Amino acid sequence: MTPPEAPMDGQTAAQREPLPVVSSRLTTLKNRPDFQRATRSPRVAMPGFILQMRKRSPDEAEGMRVGFTCSKKVGNAVARNRAKRRLREIARLALPDHGRDGMDYVLIGRQGATASIPFSQLQADLIKALDILHGKVK
């Protein structure tokens, strides 16, 4: 296999257009008080997870934030990590399109369900839960 050829027009990598600065990563909740404030806010229970949503005050940072949690009821460390990976992925796929700025979302894994429900159903359930919390569906 031969290496790719250098550009014929004399451009170097530094002279080309830069990559976009926008990141698709969601800001993650990490502090316990943020999770506690979300606990006192509206929630929706779905078969694979529980979704909590808190509207932040205007003086707090902009953008949307998301947190993930799984208790020991979900299983051992391997099961909890697998459940949280699945929750992170459905949030990464759904929240940019269906979430709202100025909100904190917390996804809580459920025992025996988060890791075993088909991924497509988890995705559909998250979109449905977001619609319920945003008042689009009753």
CATH numeric code, 27-133: 3.30.230.10
In this structure, the number of other CB atoms found within 10 A of the CB of residue 129 comes to: 25
Q: Tens-of-pLDDT digits for all 138 residues of the chain?
A: 666 666 666 555 555 555 454 445 678 889 999 899 999 999 999 999 999 999 988 888 778 899 999 999 999 999 999 999 999 999 999 999 898 888 899 999 999 889 899 999 999 999 999 999 988 765
CB 129 within 8 A of CB 95: no
SS3 content of the chain, % helix, strand, coil (to 5): 35, 15, 45
Backbone angles phi, psi at 93, to 5 degrees: -80, -35
